[in-house]
Copies of this chain bind each other. A is one copy, B any other.
Amino acid sequence: MKDHVYKLIELTGTSSASIEDAVVKAIRRANKTIQHLCWFQVIDTRGSLRKGKIHHWQVTIKVGFAVDN
């Protein structure tokens, strides 16, 4: 049985819609250049305000993926 190794990278996704959508944006970007995405963890949830309203949700996640060869 093989013992896998995973790498974790940290991404901040942004969205004017919702926390979930900001995470989806970050995952979608990671998926463009990284294979074997396995899991994510939400690290920080922030946002920018403009004219007294939420302009962007900014959600920072760690994304784990297998790096075996």
Binding site for B on A (CB under 8 A): 1, 3-16, 18-32, 37-42, 44-49, 52-54, 56-57, 60, 62-64, 67-69
Question: How many copies of this kind of chain does the complex include?
Answer: 12
Across chains A and B, which 10 residue pairs bring their CB atoms closest together, nearest first?
Answer: A31-B52, A42-B45, A8-B10, A6-B12, A5-B29, A37-B49, A41-B46, A3-B14, A3-B15, A40-B47
Provide the residues of chain B in CB contact with A37, threshold 8 Å.
Answer: 49, 52
Provide the residues of chain B in CB contact with A4, threshold 8 Å.
Answer: 14
Q: List 20 A-B contacts (CB under 8 A).
A: A3-B21, A3-B22, A5-B11, A5-B13, A5-B29, A6-B11, A7-B12, A8-B12, A20-B57, A23-B47, A23-B54, A27-B54, A31-B53, A32-B69, A37-B49, A38-B48, A39-B47, A39-B48, A40-B47, A42-B46
